[in-house]
């Protein structure tokens, strides 16, 4: 009894889809023939531009501002997207922020805000999408980070939340099996608005190039390709996985040789 092949996704939902990785994911789905729903937080100009790029690819788009930290609105956004575009085949909770909070003086409000945005929001999005995904036999691709398993005291709550996202992928994969697959990608250093300051400073830019075995920063399209693959029929026996997309950053010691 082998699994029936699944047709390519017809409707994809991406949170934080106006810029950066989310934008690349949204456009990649559109290029592959899917209509796209995406949310953003507060920059309508970028959102309008992404929406017209999706339309330019001949696909329908539904988008509006919806703060991932507001679980109620995150769920409402999913419902609106499903009714507007008729169904949901793939959900990519991607919205995120990565402030340099350090570890010493992280106020409880900071914790609450980051965990709400990075962990509760994605959970609320997937939870609301579940009935639609069960109908379509769709899948979820969460956006974690290598910060979820390597040490990043500079942004301790972010790293802890991303560890939580990897955990979400595993628990939700079991909870939603066998109808819905749930996976994650864990990117390393990707050139987006989130990392612009580090990229613009030649010192940190080259330090990161050197610390990445592949010798370059990631581009949003590198991550989008992995998301598209995990959501495709080719990945139909993959669930609960976190696919690391980091140019080898998290592998181990790369300074010289151990002799």
Enumerate binding residues for ligand NAP (CB under 6 A).
15-16, 18-22, 39-43, 46, 67-69, 94-98, 117, 143, 145, 187, 189-190, 192-195
The torsion region of residue 4 among left (phi > 0), alpha (psi -120 to 50) and beta comes to beta
Residue 67's alpha-carbon distances to 35, 53, 81, 120, 242, in angstroms, are 21, 22, 15, 12, 25
DSSP string, 30-64: HHTT-EEEEEESS-HHHHHHHHHHHHHTT--EEEE
Residue 158 appears among annotated catalytic residues: yes
Interaction between residue 168 and other proteins (CB under 8 A): no
DSSP structural state of residue 190: B
Q: Among the candidate windows 54-62, 113-121, 149-157, 169-177, which touches other proteins by CB under 8 A?
A: 169-177
Q: 102 phi and psi, to 5 degrees?
A: 65, -165
Neighbours of 163 (CB within 10 A): 17
| 3 state SS of 242 | strand
* Residue closest to ligand NAP when measured from CB atoms: 20
Of 200, 238, 256, 259, the one binding other proteins (CB under 8 A) is 238
User: With contact defined as beta carbons under 8 Å apart, do 186 and 243 qualify?
Assistant: yes
Q: What is the closest distance, in whole angstroms, from the C-beta atom of residue 225 to ligand NAP in the complex?
A: 14
Of 43, 86, 177, 207, the one binding other proteins (CB under 8 A) is 177
Q: What is the closest distance, in whole angstroms, from the C-beta atom of residue 100 to ligand NAP in the complex?
A: 13
| Token representation of residue 232 | 């495709």
Of 72, 237, 256, 259, the one binding other proteins (CB under 8 A) is 237
Give, as ranges, the residues between 178 and 207 that touch other proteins (CB under 8 A): 178, 181
Residues tagged active-site = 158
- Give residues in contact with other proteins (CB under 8 A): 1-3, 170, 173-174, 177-178, 181, 213-216, 218-219, 222, 225-226, 229, 232-241, 243-248, 250-254
């Amino acid at each position: 009894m082998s699994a029936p092949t699944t047709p390519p996704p017809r409707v994809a939902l991406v949170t934080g889809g106006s810029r950066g990785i989310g934008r690349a994911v949204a456009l990649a789905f559109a290029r592959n023939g899917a209509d796209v729903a995406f949310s953003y937080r507060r920059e309508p100009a970028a959102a309008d531009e992404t929406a017209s790029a999706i339309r330019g690819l001949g696909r329908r788009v539904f988008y509006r501002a919806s703060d991932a930290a507001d679980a109620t609105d995150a769920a409402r956004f999913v419902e609106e997207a499903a009714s507007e575009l008729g169904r949901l085949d793939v959900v990519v909770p991607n919205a995120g922020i990565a402030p340099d909070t350090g570890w010493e003086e992280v106020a409880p409000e900071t914790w609450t805000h980051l965990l709400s945005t990075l962990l509760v929001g994605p959970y609320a999005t997937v939870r609301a999408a579940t009935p639609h995904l069960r109908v379509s036999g769709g899948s979820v691709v969460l956006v974690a980070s290598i910060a979820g398993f390597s040490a990043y005291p500079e942004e301790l709550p972010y790293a802890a939340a991303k560890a939580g996202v990897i955990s979400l992928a595993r628990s939700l994969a079991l909870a939603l099996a066998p109808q819905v697959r749930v996976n994650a990608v864990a990117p390393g250093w990707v050139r987006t608005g989130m990392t612009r300051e580090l990229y613009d400073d030649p010192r940190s830019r080259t330090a990161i190039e050197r610390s990445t075995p592949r010798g370059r920063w990631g581009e949003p399209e590198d991550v989008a390709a992995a998301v598209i693959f995990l959501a495709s029929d080719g990945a139909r026996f993959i669930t609960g996985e976190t696919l690391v997309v980091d140019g080898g950053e998290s592998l181990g010691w790369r300074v010289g040789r151990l002799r």
